[in-house]
Structure 1
Amino acid sequence: MSTGHVHDVVGIGLGPFNLGLACLADPVEDLDCVFLEARDHLAWHPGMMLDDATLQVPFLADLVTMADPTSRWSFLSYLKETGNLYPFYIRESFYPLRREYDDYCRWAAERLGSVRFGQAVTAVEHDGSCYVVTTARGEVFRGRRVVLGTGTQPRVLSCVRDAGGPAIHSADYLVHKQALQRLPRITIVGSGQSAAEIYHDLLGESPDHDYELVWLTRSPRFFPMEYTKLTLEMTSPEYTTYFQGLPAGTRDRLLREQRSLYKGISGDLVDAIFDLHYRLRVQGAGPRTTLMTGTAVTEAAWDGTAYTLGLHHDETGEDVSVRTEGLVLATGYAARVPDFLEPVRDRLRLDGQGRYLASAAYAVDHGGSEVFVQNAEEHTHGFVAPDLGMGAYRNSVIIAALTGREVYPVEKRIAVQSFGVPDHLRSVPR
């Protein structure tokens, strides 16, 4: 099926960022958008939908509020419509349950007229006047511009991937949880929130099973996320602008140094893990568990029954090994250029590592006005790329680029501190 209609924008993928764009574009009368999602319904990280898990950002970091607090697509509007506004108010927590946020996103997606589910994109081409997006159903959508919200892909240790075997990524944890709990030993690899949530979940149920738990992290300690206010100011428009102006090598170095700002564990969860250990100890149900910091997985072999993991301890320099039947990799995610973009690859700006080179307006085409990305620009815009709290800001910038005007005010400066050298301190060199 083909249509001659040309949209202003074809959005590909419907995670929270492109969904937020759809919400903010909804009332803009001169912006004709369609958003294509491969799945038949929206599900946000279903493999980590633990009952007690909360967002690591306040409810204000919803799809729209930081751009338009009056939007009908806000989290508070969702609560009002579903009869949960007063219970949320009485609960007195800024942090929604992860399951609640998932339901909120689905509530919005199912009410937007611009969303098309079950439309897996197979190719994006350019016919000389517009982009031609073809889906697995054989349908064709045409757009003057494209916004890519295809998300990131689970990152798997190369040695584990080469070894084969049934290792799972944290993205699929709940699907495999019961099978894991039947194994003698479960090893979790990772330093961040997902690793900690999985460890806490398995630790809490360990008295009802007979497994041993191992948690390995390369970090020198179990880092808590930094929540101090001056640090949080780095999730700001001006820090993003400052970061973009740095040399590529400096940006990459900073991202490595800033891991605790966005890849750490919530302080409450760190404390909850210790408190759970203490409670189990008092109850006489202390689990068999090993927690190792500063430890990297360097080798992996699968013998049909268990993995043998080669480990290197950074501080002592020792090389040891551990045998484990269950292996969970909470090793994060990475952006990549989808295969369906191959026909227009020559129109895209990519760096030497094959990563998008995004402009200040998140455009990645050579002209800087046709193809935009969501959460694929960490290396150019900084660690805030996956931050839900910056999604509405990025969408405000993208909509301004699409329409040629600031439909939603784009803040330029909100921080107390200066990033880089402020102009009034610059002087002419002697």
Structure 2
Amino acid sequence: MTAAPTTTYDLLGIGIGPFGLGLAALADPLDDVEAVFLDQRDGFSWHAGMLIEGTTLQVPFLADLVTMADPTSPYSFLAWLKATGRLYQFYIRESFYPLRAEYDQYCRWVAEQLPALRWGRRVTSVVRVADPASADGGYVFEVTAETGHGVERHVEKYCAKHIVLGTGTQPRLPAHLQGLEGAGPVVHTSDYLPHRAQLAASGSVTVVGSGQSAAEVYRDLLDGCGTGAGEHRVDWVTRSPRFFPMEYTKLTLEMTSPEYTDHYVSLPIEQRDVLAREQRNLYKGISGDLIDDIYDTLYRKSALGAEVPTTLLSDTEVTAARFDADGAGGAGEYVLTLRHAQLGTTAEHRTRALVVATGYAPTAPGFLAPGLGNLDHRGRFAVARDYTVDDDRRIHVVGGEEHTHGVTAPDLGFGPWRNSVILANVTGREPYATERRIAFQQFGLPVSADPRAETTASQPDEMEAAR
């Protein structure tokens, strides 16, 4: 059974993660935006497998869904604290960084208040169709979505003038760690919590990967390391040259700015790809407090006199993996081939279970009709400065433009600014102010070296030119 569209929406979002949810919250009070948002899940969930007790965001509470666009919004993190009676407790706590579990609860609270959200809708196609309300051959997007399964399956159709793609990313596993079958679990960090007890019970766990997620899992497993009852061994292997902290100095934070994004977008794509690798520590590093906590925990355990059953290996890559059914007295073990980058030497490492912290990869939605969305030479969306991927500037991307826009793409605090740009494009006005300059520094050379001349950025404001 197919439900025919009865409304042409100004905006239709596909995928409701934090960025899509923030866009829905900012669109909600606008009288000139009729919006709907679709997601195949049954409700909002944010990294449920990594909501380890006590872990915090790496950005302050101001980086919520809406505040950086509209500090007066009823959907702010502070509004949630007030509504749930936790504002004074958060104030007394004197920390800018919310717990991860708090952030998830806050997002769920916002989602419950937004009537534009439609859960349990799996989008299967997006095509262009003639706009019946247009006299000059205009078009709209027709979106097909499925609900239910089997005999309960229904098909719905929606029409919209603008599409926003917020389909997010999927867990990424290296090829040599895929398809391993053994006695112990092989778990991506996205699915860590449901397997935590099984991992600890395995007797030995190896965390493979770098960054905050790897560090949080290692720290969590470290609590049961060398404790007698339920004791297990935990090792950490990363190909990064060191267990590097996320750089959080203030002039570096200015790179999450409109000006730096203008500069980054203006660079050749080959140079952007190089920068993406070089700038990992700007947003993929470990919080300094967590690094210190890991060291202090190891120190505390070692002070008891016994050797702590753990090894931390940096600059070390897992190049192959297999399961040895006869290992560990017949219980079976995974055998990892490790290669040290500086030394060029290899060794084998045995473990009963694996936690893979190798991040996420963007997904190219298969529901877009051919020709909808410009692609680069590597098959990625060619995202313009204003976050559109089509010549008519009507298909927008949120959170999938790291290769074109750099460090601001995954940054929660920059999400409201990007959503403000999208809403300005949809409405033809600026419902939320979009700051053009917030940084003290300049990311390109001035036009003139004469200090008496006006210092104008050497790169044009591409977003302004596209308006």
TM-score (norm 2): 0.88
**Greater mean alpha carbon deviation, residues 13-22 or residues 296-305:** 296-305
1:406 aligns to 2:427 (yes or no): no
The Cα shift of 1:99 comes to 0.4
2:125 aligns with 123
SS of the aligned residue for 1:14 comes to coil
Residue of 60, 70, 73 corresponding to 1:71? 73
Residue of 207, 210, 224 corresponding to 1:191: 210
Is 2:390 the partner of 1:365? yes
The secondary structure found in structure 1 opposite 2:349 is strand
Q: Which moved more, 1:252-261 or 1:123-132?
A: 123-132
| Structure 2 CA distance for aligned equivalents of residues 399 and 365 of structure 1 | 16
Aligned pair 1:172/2:161, yes or no?
A: no
1:325 aligned partner, one-letter code: R
Deviation at 1:163, TM superposition (A): 4.5
Find the partner of 2:165 among 141, 148, 153: 148
Distance 1:6-1:164 versus aligned 2 partners, 3 A rule? farther
Q: 1:346 aligns with which of 352, 371, 392?
A: 371
Superposition deviation, residue 285 in structure 1:
5.7
Deviation per residue, 1:310-346 (Å, 9 max, x gap)? 11101111011212221111111111212222xx231
1:250 partner amino acid: Q
Comparing 278-287 and 206-215, the one that deviates more = 278-287
Question: Do the aligned residues in 1 keep the contact of 2:15 with 2:167 (CA within 8 Å)?
Answer: yes
Q: Which residue pairs with 2:249 in the alignment?
A: 228
Distance 2:101 2:307 in 1: 30
CA displacement at 1:40 relative to structure 2: 1.3
SS of the equivalent of 1:134 reads: strand
Q: 2:62 & 2:51 partners in 1: Cα distance?
A: 21
Q: Provide the residue aligned with 2:464 in structure 1.
A: none
Match of 2:142 in 1: 132
Moved more, 59-68 or 181-190: 181-190
Shift of 1:110: 0.6
Distance in 1 separating the partners of 2:191 and 2:57? 18
Q: Distance in 1 between matches of 2:217 and 2:180?
A: 23
**How far apart in 2 are the matches of 1:125 and 1:178?**
46
Question: CA contact under 8 A between 1:11 and 1:147: conserved in structure 2?
Answer: yes
Report if the CA contact (8 A) 2:224-2:232 is conserved: no
Instruction: Name the structure 2 match of 1:314.
Output: 341
Aligned equivalent of 1:415, options 402, 421, 439: 439
Alignment of 1:213-362 (within 5 A): 213-284=234-305, 286-303=307-324, 305-341=332-368, 344-362=369-387
The answer for the alignment partner of 1:56 in structure 2 is 58
Tell me whether 321-330 or 119-128 shows the greater mean CA deviation.
Answer: 119-128
Q: Is the 8 A contact 2:180 2:186 kept in 1?
A: no
The letter for the 2-side match of 1:257 is E
Gaps of at least 5 residues in structure 1 are none
Give the Å deviation of 1:366.
Answer: 3.0
SS of 1:425's partner is coil
Aligned counterpart, 1:161? 178
Q: Relative to structure 1, is the Cα distance of residues 205 and 345 closer, same or farther in structure 2, using a 3 angstrom cutoff?
A: farther
Closer, same or farther: CA 366–303 of 1 in aligned 2, 3 Å: farther
Aligned residues: 424
SS in 2 for 1:213: strand
Other-structure match for 2:410 = 386
Task: Please say which structure displays the higher CA radius of gyration.
Answer: 2
Following superposition, the deviation at residue 2 of structure 1 comes to 2.1
Seq. identity, %: 53
Counterparts of 2:76 and 2:198 in 1: how far apart (Å)?
A: 39
SS of the residue aligned with 2:311?
Answer: strand
User: SS of the counterpart of 1:424?
Assistant: coil
- The CA distance in 2 between the partners of 1:308 and 1:350, in whole Å, is 40
- 2:426 maps to amino acid: L
Shift of 1:210: 2.8
Provide closer, same or farther for how the CA distance between residues 135 and 249 of structure 1 changes in structure 2, counting only shifts above 3 A: same
Helix, strand or coil for the counterpart of 1:153? strand
CA contact (8 A) 2:204 2:353 kept: yes
C-alpha distance in structure 2 between counterparts of 1:173 and 1:151, whole Å: 19
Query: Structure 1 stretches (4+) deviating beyond 6 angstroms?
Result: none
Contact 1:347 1:366 in 2 (8 A): no
Q: Distance in 1 between matches of 2:175 and 2:305?
A: 40
Aligned-CA RMSD value: 1.5
Contact 1:277 1:286 in 2 (8 A): no
Q: 1:395 and 1:210 mapped to 2: Cα distance?
A: 48
SS state at 1:205 partner: coil
Q: Secondary structure, in 3 states, of the residue corresponding to 1:227?
A: coil
Q: In structure 1, the residue corresponding to 2:407 is in which secondary structure?
A: coil
| Whole-Å separation in 1 of the counterparts to 2:305 and 2:119 | 51
Aligned residue in 2 for 1:375:
399
Structure 1 residue 279: deviation in Å? 1.2
Contact (CA 8 Å) 2:204, 2:232: kept in 1 or not?
A: yes
AA paired with 1:145?
Answer: H
After TM superposition, give the deviation of residue 281 of structure 1 in Å. Answer: 1.6
Unaligned runs of 5+ in 2: 131-138, 148-154, 326-331, 454-467
Q: Which of residues 113, 123, 133 is equivalent to 2:115?
A: 113
